[in-house]
Amino acid sequence: MHELAEIAVITEASWGLGKELALALVRRGIAVAGIAREPFETEGVLSIAADVRQPEEVARAFGVIRDRLGSPTILVNNAETYPDRDILDETPASFMDTVQLNLGGAFNCCHEVLPAMVQKGTGRIINVVTFADVSPAPLAAGYSVSKGALRILTRALVADLGDRFPGIVVNDWVPGTHRPRKGIPDGVDPAVAAEWGATLALMRDPEINGRVFLRDHEHLVHRSLKGRVKDRVLGRGRVRIRL
């Protein structure tokens, strides 16, 4: 049986983390398609302009990918918007535009890749998220709500697919605040974060399905001292995965 050729799709691949992640996967011998709203060119990457908020544009983009490369085996939902907007200045249209990109764009892309993944019984989906829903920052209502909903989408995918298609592995990844986003001078270098993301994208062990990764390691849910002792006694503890 021949080895399945990996074909990765990265959204918001024209700059920053998305571009670096696409390049990191190319260096590892993966065929990569990048999607961004505006036309762009990245050496070694099939670059496609499409607005992931629009289902018809997403369908067109993935049609090109399937024709040129084949059916994607890896999807990284990296596209997002982070408008600085006071809740009193939000309108229904502006709020839902943020939700449509950060959440709807991810679902639109999942909708395109899942049929082939289900048919083959294998696939990889990574949703790039934050913990903004846990502690929303000021001026970020739309962002916080949509990113929290994206984390729920990950869990919903696992709930619907995990038992029937264990070879389709879905994870949340929090890469950390990266330069040059928000003008933060001391954030994570996107090129460094991209190496973590590329490693995670190529991990296919069903045992990691649904787990959350923070930067270069698995993020374990905090347990009380009593809970940790109980886990140790019952042999339920596990080693945190590092990328």
Q: Region 96-120: what's the mean pLDDT?
A: 98
Structural domains counted in the chain: 1
What is residue 176's predicted lDDT score, i.e. its pLDDT? 87
Quote the CA–CA distance of 203 and 216 in Å, as a whole number: 13
What is residue 159's predicted lDDT score, i.e. its pLDDT? 98
Identify the domain containing residue 188 by its residue range: 7-233
pTM, two decimals, is 0.91
Q: Region 109-120: what's the mean pLDDT?
A: 98
Q: Is residue 225 part of a domain?
A: yes
Strands 217-218 and 212-214: antiparallel
What's the burial of 52, exposed, middle or buried (CB within 10 Å: 0-12/13-18/19+)? buried
Q: Is residue 241 part of a domain?
A: no
pLDDT of residue 113 exceeding 90, the answer is yes
Q: Is residue 68 part of a domain?
A: yes
Q: Is residue 238 part of a domain?
A: no
Q: What is the pLDDT of residues 184-231, one digit of tens each?
A: 566 789 999 999 999 999 999 999 999 999 999 999 876 455 555 555
Q: Is residue 175 part of a domain?
A: yes
Residue pair 61/35 in contact by the 8 Å Cβ criterion: yes
- 162 closest CA partner among 211, 202, 113, 102: 211
pLDDT classification of 1: cutoffs 50, 70, 90: very low
- 142 closest CA partner among 129, 133, 134: 133
% of the chain beyond a pLDDT of 90: 84
Q: Is residue 240 part of a domain?
A: no
Q: What is the pLDDT of residues 2-34, one digit of tens each?
A: 445 899 999 999 999 999 999 999 999 999 999
What is residue 225's predicted lDDT score, i.e. its pLDDT? 55
CATH number of the domain to which 113 belongs? 3.40.50.720
Residue pair 135/148 in contact by the 8 Å Cβ criterion: no
Q: Is residue 1 part of a domain?
A: no
Q: Is residue 2 part of a domain?
A: no
